[in-house]
């Protein structure tokens, strides 16, 4: 079910993020490639520290360089965002590509009123008069479901609950009609009931407005509800990429299989699965396949040679010697 | 916010009480019999008893304190032993030049510290950073009185640009007053800037790391606006508090700087009073000095409550 | 009293001087391996090493003053008064014909003695107060902290002046006067650390085992709050020396003819036109000492409290 695969909104190729530290150069994101089409929701899933957030931040060049260093290509509307000038990039940020973060309360400047910040988000991109923008702010607040927008716009961020704040962030994000929305763990800090509302909002954006969405999460449940396609990341690398059905019904990579086995099931009374061990830190990556120390089916080859990401079936890629012997 | 302000005021009153007790205790610990000293050559036993009971010195310590604090609160700080003037008059007259010096130094200090702190933070770990922070540490470590003497030597004696010492109130003669303030204000101001520049730098660095700056950048806010609007608005709030809290340090520094530049302020008054054993004046000066520090602290706290939306708007 | 807060409401504490880190780790200071590691980290900071070198030189200078000093610091007329630096008198002579270099060397004694003794005294008193206040809490805590707040309101030099007025002059009184100004910061920092450590499970365990409060305080709580206190102490020594030199400058320090850098500078101010070296050179010595101690203190803080690294 590939949406607009012919002309992807975002085309990431060989994205690599490195950091120079006292202990040497650490590669937090290693050669990540994917596409997102119009109206498509692509999920980026993995444990904490797998490099998902960094991947999403790298797209808009939000990583501080130095000490970071980003390589590769991020093609958006025919341009490589990684080599774009700062001013052109600032034009795209917030207007064509919007991003929302994990902790909505912390994403708003505590000393400015919320309405002011929303206004600013638009004023940087749209040369309209403040009065007109102010009306738009109220309109957007209403559309994302904030009651009495007139009063709320004059409030400060600390007066908003987590759910309300995230709606504000989404409102700000779509205020300039972006083609791509990057959502980095948008519901992790929220209650389950609010989660559902926020996710519904995002889904509507994709469906009704055709916004392409990159959804980063460690929560497989959310990924399964929301996404059309999924990328599984482990220790900085993409280990599997497929449609959401394929990932959940026929996971190919042992890590993905392990993750899905960890999900509690309604039927059956078996024990909760678990993957023994822990993801290696960036400074202590094992040779060969990064997952092999924890892998139940690892072979001697896995210890030596890192498996490349290659097609197992059409539209289903995996990086595993066992799943895809070459 | 009202609750915050009220609790701070309560705290301030408690501190003022403690301070008054400390000063009272200190003065009582001075060796020697003040009654004897006051009578001097006019000593007779009868006069002694009379004066002692008149001063309330034959009562218990607590009662003495109450008498004393009553007099202080009504503005009576006693009389100078030396020239029999009202201490309150002497002290207030001396306080004005000190205050002028402190304010001038604050201005100089802020004018130096803010740009250098910002530059150091923006170009972290560059030559600018190490340079301005090194300079800050350098001027902060220089004893202010020595710095004043060196400044006099270079700019007054050698170059002749400024007068070596003396004070003229800016309101009586603006140009002369300001001219005479330049060297003392630079002396004290650079010390202050050394302290504040480092704090501005670290505050700004901390703020620049915050999520809301990253989120604002993700919305397309330009770098200049990110730093000077988003970051500074947050970074300056603790800095304002710190500057206010340094009023006490500045007052201490002023005491020394006044001596170097022969400014007739609290420093000169207190030191002369100590050497002359004019304890009423010493007590009055210290009382006024410390009370002003405490009051400034309170005002700074209130300013903070006003600046920080989290407190201003429940 | 008032502590600066950042805009996010958390206390603003860039130098790590007013707040403890997360509850300090159970004391690992004693083991030799830890000391070795600690030294290696410290040695990487060149400023700190410089500071340590200067400090040790100062100490040596103070201890061996009679041996290395070229002249008797109190002897007048060993050279032409107000002579500029020359081969005979490397730092020149003052208005009484005394050799300035010798007076500087002996002056380091006053500076170091006052600096270190006052900080130690303040540490002992302040830490004890902080321990008691933090551990017992309640009324004791409130009373002690209120008194500390009161003390804290005094600018240090003003408090020192007040104490000198009461006690009279002399090195011993200077030490006490300066120490009083530093008690409050020590008490506050200790109390904060104690409050954090108090909740640790090993304290609870000791209490349940019936160990007496006093023993808990001194054998379990104290070692774990010691590291930040030592850092505080090192950082404050330079402040103590500055305060002492300020007092000497005002004429309230150790009385003449004892050589004290502050007073030497004051005497030199009168002759700034004819003989600038009298005021300038002792000031350079003072400044080197202060810069070195500041670097040393910063280095110690960075080593023992890595979360402050930027």
Q: Which CATH class is domain A10-234?
A: alpha beta
Of C166, C262, C279, nearest to B26 by CB-CB distance is C166
Of A156, A158, A172, nearest to B219 by CB-CB distance is A172
> Looking at the complex, does the CB of residue B143 fall below 8 Å from at least one CB of chain C?
yes
pLDDT(C1) > 60 = no
The Cα–Cα gap between B181 and A90 comes to: 47
Token representation of residue A312: 């197992």
Measured between CA atoms, how close is C221 to chain B, in angstroms? Answer: 29
Q: Give the whole-number percent of chain A exceeding pLDDT 90.
A: 28
Residue A17's pLDDT is 92
Residue A174's pLDDT is 84
Residues 6+ apart with CB under 8 A from C74: C98, C257, C259
What residues 193-232 of chain B have any CB closer than 8 A to a CB of chain A?
A: 210-223, 230
Over residues C226-242, mean pLDDT:
85
Per the prediction, chain B carries an average pLDDT of: 84
Phi/psi class of residue C154: alpha, beta or left (left: φ > 0; alpha: ψ in -120 to 50)? beta
In total, chain B counts a number of residues equal to 314
Q: Which of A249-263, C76-90, C111-125 has the lowest mean pLDDT?
A: C76-90
Measured between CA atoms, how close is C201 to chain A, in angstroms? Answer: 28
Of B26, B138, B153, nearest to C162 by CB-CB distance is B26
Of B212, B216, B220, nearest to A125 by CB-CB distance is B220
The Cα–Cα gap between C106 and C65 comes to: 6
Token representation of residue B278: 């004019």
pLDDT(C119) > 90 = yes
The Cβ of residue C62 has, within 10 Å, a number of other Cβ atoms equal to 18
What does A204-271 look like in DSSP terms, one character per residue?
HHHHHH--EEEEEES-HHHHHHH-SEEEEEETTEEEEEEEHHHHHHS--SHHHHHHHHTS--SS--PP
More confident residue, A273 or C130: C130
Answer whether C216's CB lies under 8 Å from C200's CB: no
Q: Give the whole-number percent of chain A exceeding pLDDT 70.
A: 95
In what order do the strands lie in the sheet containing A79-80? A24-36, A10-21, A68-76, A79-80
Token representation of residue B242: 């710190």
pLDDT(A297) > 80 = yes
Return the SS3 of B267.
helix
Token representation of residue C30: 């004693």
> Looking at the complex, does the CB of residue C280 fall below 8 Å from at least one CB of chain B?
yes
The Cα–Cα gap between A95 and A102 comes to: 20
Query: Would you report the helix, strand and coil content of chain A in percent, each value rounded to 5?
Result: 35, 25, 40
Over residues B84-105, mean pLDDT:
87
Residue A109 to residue B233, Cβ atoms within 8 A = yes
pLDDT band at C305 (very low <50, low <70, confident <90, very high): low
pLDDT band at A58 (very low <50, low <70, confident <90, very high): very high
Over residues C50-60, mean pLDDT:
89
pLDDT(C28) > 50 = no
Residues 6+ apart with CB under 8 A from A35: A5, A8, A10, A11, A12
Residue A93 to residue B219, Cβ atoms within 8 A = yes
Q: Please list every residue in chain B whose beta carbon sits closer than 8 Å to the beta carbon of residue A183.
A: none
- Cross-strand partners of A19: A26, A68
Answer whether A238's CB lies under 8 Å from A319's CB: yes
Q: Return the residue of B nearest to C280 by Cα.
A: B150
Measured between CA atoms, how close is C7 to chain B, in angstroms? Answer: 6
Longest dimension (CA), chain B: 87
Measured between CA atoms, how close is A277 to chain C, in angstroms? Answer: 27
Q: What is the DSSP letter of C251?
A: T
The Cα–Cα gap between A88 and A125 comes to: 11
Residues 6+ apart with CB under 8 A from B247: B102, B292, B293, B296, B297, B300
Residue A121 to residue B220, Cβ atoms within 8 A = yes
Residue C4's pLDDT is 53
Q: Please list every residue in chain A whose beta carbon sits closer than 8 Å to the beta carbon of residue B210.
A: 106
> Looking at the complex, does the CB of residue A126 fall below 8 Å from at least one CB of chain B?
no
Measured between CA atoms, how close is C228 to chain B, in angstroms? Answer: 20
The Cα–Cα gap between B308 and C5 comes to: 9
Measured between CA atoms, how close is B229 to chain A, in angstroms? Answer: 10
Measured between CA atoms, how close is B117 to chain C, in angstroms? Answer: 14
> Looking at the complex, does the CB of residue B240 fall below 8 Å from at least one CB of chain A?
no
Q: How many CB pairs under 8 A join B and C?
A: 187
- pLDDT tens per residue, range B185-240: 999 999 888 888 888 988 898 898 889 999 999 988 888 888 888 998 898 888 88
Q: Please list every residue in chain B whose beta carbon sits closer than 8 Å to the beta carbon of residue A112.
A: 230, 233
Residue A110 to residue B221, Cβ atoms within 8 A = no
Residue B313: alpha-carbon gap to chain centroid: 31
| φ, ψ for residue B265, nearest 5 deg | -110, -160
The Cα–Cα gap between B73 and A80 comes to: 73
Residue A103 to residue B221, Cβ atoms within 8 A = no
Measured between CA atoms, how close is C7 to chain A, in angstroms? Answer: 7
Residue A3's pLDDT is 46
pLDDT band at C25 (very low <50, low <70, confident <90, very high): very low
CA separation, residue B184 to residues A208, A315, B197, C38 (Å): 69, 76, 20, 43
CA separation, residue C46 to residues B140, C43, C238, C285, C292 (Å): 20, 7, 19, 20, 11
Residue B111's pLDDT is 92
Residue B210 to residue A106, Cβ atoms within 8 A = yes
Residue C45's pLDDT is 75
pLDDT(B127) > 70 = yes
Selected residue of B21, B252, B297 to mutate for chain C interface (largest C Cβ count, 10 A): B252
Of B157, B267, B270, nearest to C273 by CB-CB distance is B157
The residue behind tokens 């003003």 is C158
Question: Any idea of the CA torsion for B27, B29, B35, B40, to the nearest 10 degrees?
Answer: -90
Residue A111 to residue C8, Cβ atoms within 8 A = no
Residues 6+ apart with CB under 8 A from A39: A3, A4, A206, A207, A210, A211, A212
Question: Any idea of the CA torsion for C195, C199, C205, C207, to the nearest 10 degrees?
Answer: 40
Q: Kindly list the domain boundaries of chain A, sorted by start residue.
A: 10-234, 256-326
CA separation, residue A192 to residues A163, A189, A201, C242 (Å): 10, 9, 14, 59
Return the SS3 of C44.
coil
Residue C22's pLDDT is 43
Selected residue of C1, C163, C235, C266 to mutate for chain B interface (largest B Cβ count, 10 A): C1
Measured between CA atoms, how close is B156 to chain A, in angstroms? Answer: 47
Q: Please list every residue in chain B whose beta carbon sits closer than 8 Å to the beta carbon of residue C178.
A: none
Q: Are strands A97-100 and A180-184 parallel, antiparallel or unpaired?
A: parallel
In terms of C-beta density within 10 A (0-12 exposed, 13-18 middle, 19 or more buried), how is residue C157 classed? buried
Report ipTM (2 d.p.): 0.85
Over residues A60-72, mean pLDDT:
87
Over residues A233-248, mean pLDDT:
90
Q: Please list every residue in chain B whose beta carbon sits closer than 8 Å to the beta carbon of residue A169.
A: 215
Q: Please list every residue in chain C whose beta carbon sits closer than 8 Å to the beta carbon of residue A111.
A: 7
Q: Return the residue of A nearest to C8 by Cα.
A: A110
Residue B219 to residue A60, Cβ atoms within 8 A = no
* Long-range Cβ pairs for the range A242-249 (8 Å, 24+): A242/A315, A242/A316, A242/A317, A242/A318, A243/A1, A243/A315, A243/A316, A244/A43, A246/A313, A246/A315, A246/A316, A248/A224
> Looking at the complex, does the CB of residue A124 fall below 8 Å from at least one CB of chain B?
yes
Q: What is the DSSP letter of C24?
A: P
Return the SS3 of A178.
coil
Residue B2's pLDDT is 83
Answer whether A257's CB lies under 8 Å from A220's CB: no
Token representation of residue A178: 């972006």
Q: Which of A129-133, B218-222, B254-258, C194-198 has the lowest mean pLDDT?
A: C194-198
Of C14, C276, C283, nearest to B146 by CB-CB distance is C283
Answer whether A181's CB lies under 8 Å from A209's CB: no
Residue C12's pLDDT is 54
Residue A163's pLDDT is 85
3-state secondary structure B165-207: CCCCCCCCCHHHHHHHHHHHHHHHHHHHHHHHHHHHHHHHHHH
The residue among B142, A108, B249, A232 whose CA lies nearest residue C8 is A108
- pLDDT tens per residue, range B159-177: 888 887 777 777 777 888 8
Return the SS3 of B92.
helix
Answer whether A214's CB lies under 8 Å from A180's CB: yes
> Looking at the complex, does the CB of residue C66 fall below 8 Å from at least one CB of chain B?
no
> Looking at the complex, does the CB of residue B125 fall below 8 Å from at least one CB of chain A?
no
Answer whether B259's CB lies under 8 Å from B271's CB: yes
Q: Return the residue of A nearest to B307 by Cα.
A: A111
The Cα–Cα gap between B106 and C216 comes to: 47
Q: How many CB pairs under 8 A join A and C?
A: 3
Residue C150 to residue B251, Cβ atoms within 8 A = no
Residue A114's pLDDT is 92
Answer whether B113's CB lies under 8 Å from B193's CB: yes
pLDDT(C24) > 90 = no
pLDDT band at B154 (very low <50, low <70, confident <90, very high): confident
**Enclosing H/E stretch for A30:** strand A24-36
The residue among B121, B134, B136, B148 whose CA lies nearest residue B236 is B121
Q: Please list every residue in chain C whose beta carbon sits closer than 8 Å to the beta carbon of residue B267.
A: 250
| φ, ψ for residue C99, nearest 5 deg | -75, 125
pLDDT band at A269 (very low <50, low <70, confident <90, very high): low
Over residues A172-182, mean pLDDT:
88
Of A101, A124, A158, nearest to B215 by CB-CB distance is A101
Of C2, C251, C287, nearest to B271 by CB-CB distance is C251
Selected residue of A22, A110, A112, A157 to mutate for chain C interface (largest C Cβ count, 10 A): A110
Residue C3's pLDDT is 52
């Amino acid at each position: 079910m590939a949406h607009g695969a012919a002309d992807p909104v975002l085309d990431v190729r060989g994205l690599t993020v490195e950091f120079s530290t006292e202990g040497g150069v650490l590669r937090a994101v290693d050669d990540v490639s994917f596409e997102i089409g119009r109206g498509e929701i692509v999920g980026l899933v993995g444990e904490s520290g797998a490099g998902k957030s960094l991947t999403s931040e790298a797209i808009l060049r939000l990583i501080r360089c130095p000490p970071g260093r980003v390589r590769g290509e991020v093609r958006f509307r025919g341009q490589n965002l990684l080599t774009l000038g700062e001013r052109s990039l600032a034009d795209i940020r917030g207007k064509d590509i919007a991003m929302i973060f994990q902790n909505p309360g912390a994403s708003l400047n505590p000393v400015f009123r919320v309405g002011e910040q929303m206004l600013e988000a638009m004023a940087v991109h749209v040369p309209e008069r403040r009065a007109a923008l102010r009306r738009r702010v109220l309109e957007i607040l209403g559309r994302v479901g904030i009651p009495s927008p007139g009063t709320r716009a004059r409030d400060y961020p600390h007066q908003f609950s987590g759910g309300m704040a995230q709606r504000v962030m989404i409102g700000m994000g779509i205020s300039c009609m972006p083609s791509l929305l990057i959502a980095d763990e948008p519901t992790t800090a929220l209650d389950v009931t609010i989660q559902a509302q926020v996710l519904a909002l995002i889904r509507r954006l994709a469906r009704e407005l055709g916004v392409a969405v990159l959804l980063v999460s460690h929560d497989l449940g959310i990924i399964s509800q929301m996404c059309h396609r999924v990328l599984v990341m482990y220790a900085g690398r993409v280990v599997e990429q497929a449609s959401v059905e394929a990932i959940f019904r026929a996971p190919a990579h042992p890590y993905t299989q392990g993750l899905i086995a960890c999900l509690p099931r309604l039927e059956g009374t078996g024990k909760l699965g678990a993957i023994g061990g822990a993801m290696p830190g960036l400074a202590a990556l094992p040779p060969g396949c990064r997952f092999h120390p924890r892998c139940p089916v690892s072979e001697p080859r896995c210890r030596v040679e890192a498996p490349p990401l290659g097609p197992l079936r059409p539209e289903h890629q995996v990086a595993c010697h066992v799943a895809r012997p070459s | 916010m009202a609750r915050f302000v009220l609790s701070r005021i309560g705290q301030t009153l408690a501190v003022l009480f403690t301070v008054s007790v400390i000063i009272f205790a200190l003065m009582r610990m001075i060796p020697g019999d003040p009654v004897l000293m006051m009578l001097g050559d006019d000593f007779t036993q009868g006069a002694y008893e009379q004066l002692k009971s008149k001063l309330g010195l034959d009562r218990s310590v607590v009662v003495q304190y109450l008498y004393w604090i009553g007099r202080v609160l009504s503005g009576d700080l006693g009389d100078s032993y030396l020239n029999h003037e009202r201490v309150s008059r002497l002290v207030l007259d001396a306080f004005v030049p000190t205050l002028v010096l402190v304010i001038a130094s604050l201005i100089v200090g802020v004018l130096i510290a803010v740009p250098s702190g910002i530059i150091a933070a923006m170009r972290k770990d560059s030559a600018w950073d190490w340079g301005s922070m090194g300079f800050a540490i350098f001027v902060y470590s220089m004893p202010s009185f020595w710095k004043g003497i060196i400044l006099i030597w270079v700019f007054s004696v050698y170059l002749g640009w400024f007068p070596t010492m003396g004070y003229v109130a800016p309101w009586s003669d603006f140009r002369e007053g300001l001219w005479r303030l330049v060297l003392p204000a630079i002396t004290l101001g650079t010390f202050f800037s050394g302290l504040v520049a480092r704090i501005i730098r670290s505050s700004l660095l901390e703020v620049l790391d915050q999520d809301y700056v990253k989120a604002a950048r993700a919305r397309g806010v330009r770098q200049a606006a990110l730093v000077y609007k988003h970051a500074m608005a947050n970074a300056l709030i603790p800095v304002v508090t710190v500057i206010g809290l340094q009023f006490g340090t500045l007052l201490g520094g002023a005491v020394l700087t006044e001596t170097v530049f022969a400014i007739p302020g609290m420093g000169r008054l207190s030191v002369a009073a100590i050497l002359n054993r004019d304890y009423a004046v010493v007590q009055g000066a210290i009382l006024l000095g410390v009370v002003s520090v405490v009051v400034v602290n309170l005002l700074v706290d209130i300013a903070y409550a006003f600046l920080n939306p989290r407190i201003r708007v429940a | 009293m008032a502590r600066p807060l950042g805009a996010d409401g958390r206390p603003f504490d860039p130098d790590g001087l007013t707040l403890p880190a997360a509850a300090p780790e159970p004391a690992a200071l004693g083991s030799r391996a830890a000391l070795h590691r600690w030294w290696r980290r410290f040695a990487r900071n060149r400023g700190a090493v410089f500071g340590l070198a200067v400090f040790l030189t100062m100490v040596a200078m103070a201890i061996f003053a009679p041996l290395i000093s070229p002249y008797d610091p109190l002897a007048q007329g060993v050279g032409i008064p107000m002579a500029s630096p020359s081969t005979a008198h490397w730092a020149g002579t003052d208005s009484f014909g005394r050799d300035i270099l010798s007076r500087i060397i002996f002056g380091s004694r006053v500076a170091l003695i006052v600096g270190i003794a006052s900080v130690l005294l303040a540490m002992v008193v302040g830490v004890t107060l902080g321990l008691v206040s933090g551990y017992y809490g309640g009324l004791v805590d409130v009373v002690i902290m209120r008194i500390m707040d009161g003390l804290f309101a005094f600018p240090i030099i003003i408090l020192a002046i007040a104490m000198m007025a009461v006690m009279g002059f002399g090195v011993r009184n200077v030490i006490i006067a300066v120490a009083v100004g530093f008690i409050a910061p020590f008490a506050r920092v200790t109390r904060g650390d104690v409050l954090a450590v108090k909740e640790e499970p090993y304290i609870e365990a000791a209490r349940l085992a019936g160990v007496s409060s006093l023993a808990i305080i001194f054998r379990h709580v104290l070692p774990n709050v010691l590291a930040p206190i030592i850092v505080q102490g090192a950082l404050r020594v330079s402040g103590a020396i500055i305060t002492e030199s300020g007092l000497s400058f005002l004429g309230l320090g150790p009385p003449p003819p004892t050589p004290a850098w502050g007073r030497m500078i004051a005497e030199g101010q009168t002759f700034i036109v004819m003989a600038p070296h009298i005021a300038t050179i002792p000031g350079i010595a003072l400044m080197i000492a202060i810069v070195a101690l500041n670097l040393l203190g910063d280095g110690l803080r960075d080593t023992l409290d890595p979360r402050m690294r930027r």
